[in-house]
Amino acid sequence: MPELRGVLLDMDGTLIDSEKVWEVALNDLMKHLGADPLSTEARRESVGGSLDSSLRICFREAGRDPDTVPAAEYVETGAWFYDRAGELFGQGVDWRPGARELLGALHAEGVPAALVTNTIRVLAERALDTLGRGHFAAVVTGDEVTATKPAPDPYRRGAELLGVDPADCVAVEDSPTGALSAERAGCAVLVVPCELEVPAGPRRVLRDTLTGMTPAGLAEVLEVVRGR
């Protein structure tokens, strides 16, 4: 069985059930823009995305062309959105099934782990109050990379900070956007869907839940992917 050199974990919808927080924040933003809540289709489109992609979706759904929104208004709206999301994160977020136990097992067995999220640093820091900073040797956030998921940059950076090759890592993801990002970086990907169905792929192993997942189980994921 190949050696598992590192584990790169998404946050929203993978470790914590924060997609519900984002849904509330996005719909509050739509109200702030004087519009109706996001349609189901638009909400699904936003899952796993960055601040910029979420803002563009909201402006579009509010009947505004995102490309014509004045820069100052765009920045101000983004700040309003993250202030609201920060309030919601501050109220606490529930764990996804099996996630806390997996983090504890990785730490106990000395397998380096990095948090890799499209969420910006200030909100990731709030979430780390729930996740526990000691579980992670590195944290990569959406405002600290040149291109966010689905680009490979976040996962490449996570592996770099751990000092390992992405090909020796397993990424754990819940969304099509995140799975594509990890795949493009060269990782094996354990996909545990949350809000959206995620298609199968040659570098992906799909599972219904993280419950019962262990470091040895992640090493098996790496072995499966390498054997394809």
* Predicted local confidence at residue 21, as pLDDT: 85
Please name the CATH architecture into which domain 19-90 falls: Orthogonal Bundle (1.10)
Fold designation for 6-18+93-226: Rossmann fold (3.40.50)
Instruction: Return the DSSP state at 8.
Output: E
Domain boundaries, the chain: 6-18+93-226, 19-90
- In the chain, the amino acid numbered 34 is G
The answer to whether the beta carbons of residues 127 and 116 sit under 8 Å apart is no
At 7-55, the pLDDT tens digits run 999 999 999 998 788 889 999 999 999 999 999 999 889 887 787 889 9
- Rounded distance, CA 127 to CA 92, Å? 8
- In the chain, the amino acid numbered 207 is R
- Give the mean model confidence (pLDDT) for residues 101-123: 95
Instruction: Return the DSSP state at 145.
Output: S
111: helix, strand or coil: coil
At 124-170, the pLDDT tens digits run 998 898 899 999 999 999 999 999 999 999 999 999 999 999 999 99
Q: How many CA atoms lie within 13 A of 74 on its CB side?
A: 16
Q: Is the pLDDT of residue 175 over 90?
A: yes
End-to-end CA gap in the chain: 14
At 115-128, the pLDDT tens digits run 999 988 988 998 89
- Give the mean model confidence (pLDDT) for residues 104-119: 96
pLDDT band at 226 (very low <50, low <70, confident <90, very high): very high
> In sequence order, which ranges of the chain are alpha helices (DSSP H)?
19-32, 40-46, 51-61, 71-90, 99-108, 121-131, 153-162, 176-185, 215-226
* Predicted local confidence at residue 131, as pLDDT: 92
